[in-house]
Structure 1
Amino acid sequence: MTRPRCRIPSAALVATSALLLTAALLPTVGGVADAAPHSPLVLAAAPSGEQWHADLSVVDRDDVNVRRTAAGLRLRETRASGHRARSPHSAVAEGMLLTSSRTLARPATRVRAEIDASVPTGATVEAQVRGWRTLGWTEWQTATAGAVFDRSVTRVQTRVVLTATNDGATATVRGVRLTADATTAVSAATPGRTYRVYATRVGLVGEVTANGRTVQPRDHFVALPSRRGLSPLNTGDYTVRVCTTNGARCEYAPVWDVGPWNTRDDYWNPSSVRENWKDLPQGRPEAQAAYQSGYNGGRDQFGRTVLNPAGIDLADGTFWDGLQLTTNAWVDVAYLWTGGGPRGVVGGGPLNIRSGAGTSYAVRGLAARLAHVPIQCYVTGQSVAGPYRTTTRWNRLATGQYVSHAYISSVYGGSVPVC
């Protein structure tokens, strides 16, 4: 059964003196008085560290429902009822600009953002960043109060998220200034977190995901209830491995949408990092706690009665073809960006995952195109001609299954040893 998803975006974020403000609550902070609708926000003095301004002038295919005007960056379609402005179950219009990444002059562990914007009542604007380190991209973090990474990063990418309520009022963003510096790092994440959660089917063919993809028939991706693990359009920077509970079938799939139920529930993170619901055990989605034990009055973050315990949504191809499910079910999910070791990028797919190094071995699941798969080592097997090379190399994944290297476009995060 297809279960609707919710992608209502996050609360307002605007920056002065690296403090978090909302357009709805507008207190006087650091000498900045209450702002009437459409009044500008004044930036504080620049902090020390490497500084740059996000390029808001380029709007292209990896951006969603935003446009550049003479006044600044705004939502393109501001009515929540607009088809391209939201998911069919969202209460607000939303848009997102993804900037090019910046290579830092020296490694950093903290990035702060200051936003120069006019924000009418009900509208929101938020600056989020992620950092590149040896193992790949970190999760997206809100940068207004300072995003701190668990290890040094050498590149930083910024995205600006805007929302508007149904009256059509939209923020106008004139600039975003970033500062990167070093601070005490937080504890390193436990690698390879895996939790058993309830999965529902996405459906919604023809609708638009949170990263701007139009959902295709038999599509291969997943949705998680937090933007912290949302991949930009046409990337698999954040990939999960989702398996049936008996381990018979698995799929590696990129995270391309936000849902189900909540949008700020990164339940795979420890409470020190988790954005909301910090009193819940790590690995327990809020929707599951609400449904099973009446947590939060049995409601999600938007006050809706939770009708199932879903912690992940699976696109139709992942649901039917990858896992061969026929109904909603419990699954085991590994959040692969929390792990370590070399990663291979699947350039052509969905790619068969096999029990051995040849096409005669049983198929144990799929790796979606653009998914990032953890490579343990490689062996010599059957020669395969693929889109990137003809090779006898087969990569053994962390689960002990194999994929042909002929379909792997690149490998990062370290060298791959011989098994």
Structure 2
Amino acid sequence: MIRARSRTLVALTALLTVSAALTATPAHAATTAESWAVGLTVAGGDDVNVRWSAGLLRLADARPGARTRPAATAAPVAEGALVAAPRTLSRPATRVRVALTARTVDGGTVRAQVRGWRAGAWTEWRDAATVVFGRPVTRVQARVLLAAARPGSVTTVSGLRLTAERVAADVAQPTAVGTPPTYRVFATREGNVGSLTANGHTIVARDHFVALPSRRALSPLNTGDYTAKVCTASGSRCEYAPVWDVGPWNTRDDYWNPSSVRENWKDLPQGRPEAQAAYQYGYHGGRDQFGRTVLNPAGIDLADGTFWDGLLLTDNAWVDVTYLWTGGGLAGRVGSGPLNIRTGPSTGYAVRGLAATYANVPIQCYVLGQTVSGPYGTTSRWDRLVAGQYVSHAYISAVYGGTVPLC
């Protein structure tokens, strides 16, 4: 007699919908809600390892270790992601309610995440039945994450509906722009030329991006929505690079966030990656979230170009990482790079690092210097990133968050 494999069927719609009564928000506090169905048709680009057929979204390749899973994670699961187009809201909202209809069998999992646009930048991705932004957002974007623990796992999604509303109880008073944190973490070189990153980018030789061990700060393809500033421990070289992959080691370790926000490992100090704690102190039995023995304390992976050309590293090393999206203020998008970062406003000044294509660089103000011709015009304007760091504005495709003042 053959024993049938135990299977679990999960209907997620009810689990992922929270009523106003549960949030204890007075009925009169909410304005008219805006509700819409999210399109789940696969359009390519940063839709990775998923397909749409017979009215269902599913993994295109459910084999663990498939080439199409995130290159940096080495996780013992197959993963896929669909990123929906952003929706501009008819009125600003402070919360989004999520209703996901999905079916999982034998180790399959599915999550829906949303983020909001405010003050010229995106919030981090969050998965919850109700995501509260605190301050109003004008655009909302959703993505669906699917995973299979074994070849027989089944994960399908038949519907995703979002409802945006503005609730007075959610609105916090505007606060001053904060300074994004900087932590010293161990960096390893990713390599993997020819593989796909978690956002669908095919890695090329001397590439410029970084990987962090959480999807909360994974930029959609060809964007720098989440950009990290990575500097050598001496501070002699820096690179601004977009977060395009997930890893190393863990995939749910947003260690740069405080414990009240951090997804896992809330008992660790803010800024300490779980892999570092496991390697140095035997935390979690010296293992990562998948049960693997951690062999180095890495909290960031660097693409080859970032590693060799941006920082001039020759071996894995401790670096200082600033998680720029957690702050605020003016930011310029590098439209053509890698762009030289110089110590003054002309090409005669020394180069102190690079800014990758699509990276969002924080701009303090601008000065006038050498006239430079680039893909975005001919100009004598040079943007000051921090004291002693300048880039030519001829290579900046857009500025977000306001108007850049003269220094």
Inter-partner Cα distance in structure 2 for 1:38 and 1:196: 43
Inter-partner Cα distance in structure 2 for 1:223 and 1:86: 10
Cα deviation code 1:185-219 (max 9, x no counterpart): 57978431111111111111111111111111110
Structure 1 residue corresponding to 2:317, chosen from 316, 329, 345 = 329
1:111 is matched with 96
Between the two proteins, the alignment pairs up a number of residues equal to: 384
Deviation at 1:131, TM superposition (A): 0.6
Please tell me whether the aligned partners of residues 108 and 155 of structure 2 are also in contact (alpha carbons under 8 angstroms).
yes
Deviation at 1:50, TM superposition (A): 2.2
Inter-partner Cα distance in structure 2 for 1:124 and 1:117: 9
Matched position secondary structure for 1:171: strand
Cα deviation code 1:381-418 (max 9, x no counterpart): 10111011110000000353000000000001111100
Cα deviation code 1:170-198 (max 9, x no counterpart): 32211101122234257978431111111
Matched position secondary structure for 2:279: helix
Cα deviation code 1:43-89 (max 9, x no counterpart): 48885632111111242222111111123111111222432245382
Q: 1:40 to 1:290 in 2, by over 3 A?
A: closer
Structure 2 residue corresponding to 1:217, chosen from 205, 215, 229 = 205
1:306 is matched with 294
TM-score normalized by the length of structure 2: 0.90
Q: 1:185 to 1:296 in 2, by over 3 A?
A: farther
Instruction: Please say if 1:409 is aligned against 2:400.
Output: no
Structure 2 residue corresponding to 1:236, chosen from 224, 228, 250 = 224
Q: 1:41 to 1:66 in 2, by over 3 A?
A: same
Deviation at 1:298, TM superposition (A): 1.4
Inter-partner Cα distance in structure 2 for 1:85 and 1:248: 35
2:36 is matched with 52
TM-score normalized by the length of structure 1: 0.87
Please tell me whether the aligned partners of residues 274 and 288 of structure 2 are also in contact (alpha carbons under 8 angstroms).
yes
Instruction: Please say if 1:171 is aligned against 2:159.
Output: no
**Structure 1 spans left out of the alignment, 5+ residues:** 1-34
Taking the TM superposition and a 5 Å limit, the aligned residue runs for 1:18-29 are: none
Inter-partner Cα distance in structure 1 for 2:305 and 2:137: 35
Deviation at 1:148, TM superposition (A): 2.2
Q: 1:172 to 1:344 in 2, by over 3 A?
A: same
Taking the TM superposition and a 5 Å limit, the aligned residue runs for 1:358-377 are: 358-377=346-365
Deviation at 1:350, TM superposition (A): 0.3
Inter-partner Cα distance in structure 2 for 1:201 and 1:396: 29
- The worse-fitting range, judged by mean Cα deviation, of 294-303 and 74-83 is 74-83
Deviation at 1:288, TM superposition (A): 1.1
2:55 is matched with 71
Matched position secondary structure for 2:364: strand
Taking the TM superposition and a 5 Å limit, the aligned residue runs for 1:239-258 are: 239-258=227-246
**Structure 2 spans left out of the alignment, 5+ residues:** 1-5, 21-32
2:111 is matched with 126
Deviation at 1:291, TM superposition (A): 1.3
Q: 1:42 to 1:193 in 2, by over 3 A?
A: closer
1:92 is matched with 77
Q: Which amino acid in structure 2 is aligned with residue 127 of structure 1?
A: A
Matched position secondary structure for 2:154: coil
Instruction: Please say if 1:157 is aligned against 2:141.
Output: yes
Q: Which amino acid in structure 2 is aligned with residue 162 of structure 1?
A: L
Inter-partner Cα distance in structure 1 for 2:387 and 2:253: 27
Inter-partner Cα distance in structure 1 for 2:123 and 2:10: 34
Q: Which amino acid in structure 1 is aligned with residue 265 of structure 2?
A: W
1:24 is matched with none
Q: 1:376 to 1:302 in 2, by over 3 A?
A: same
Q: Which amino acid in structure 2 is aligned with residue 64 of structure 1?
A: V
Inter-partner Cα distance in structure 2 for 1:310 and 1:278: 18
Please tell me whether the aligned partners of residues 148 and 185 of structure 1 are also in contact (alpha carbons under 8 angstroms).
no
Inter-partner Cα distance in structure 1 for 2:392 and 2:152: 50
Cα deviation code 1:111-135 (max 9, x no counterpart): 2211112221211111001110014
Q: 1:209 to 1:291 in 2, by over 3 A?
A: same
Matched position secondary structure for 2:116: strand
Please tell me whether the aligned partners of residues 70 and 245 of structure 2 are also in contact (alpha carbons under 8 angstroms).
no
Give every structure 1 segment of 4 or more consecutive aligned residues whose post-TM-superposition deviation is greater than 6 Å: 186-189
Inter-partner Cα distance in structure 2 for 1:353 and 1:122: 47
Matched position secondary structure for 2:105: coil
- The worse-fitting range, judged by mean Cα deviation, of 382-391 and 183-192 is 183-192
Please tell me whether the aligned partners of residues 255 and 272 of structure 2 are also in contact (alpha carbons under 8 angstroms).
yes
Matched position secondary structure for 1:119: strand
Cα deviation code 1:256-287 (max 9, x no counterpart): 00111111111110111011111111111111
- Percent of aligned positions with the same letter in both sequences? 66
1:394 is matched with 382
Deviation at 1:169, TM superposition (A): 3.0
Aligned residues: CA RMSD: 2.0
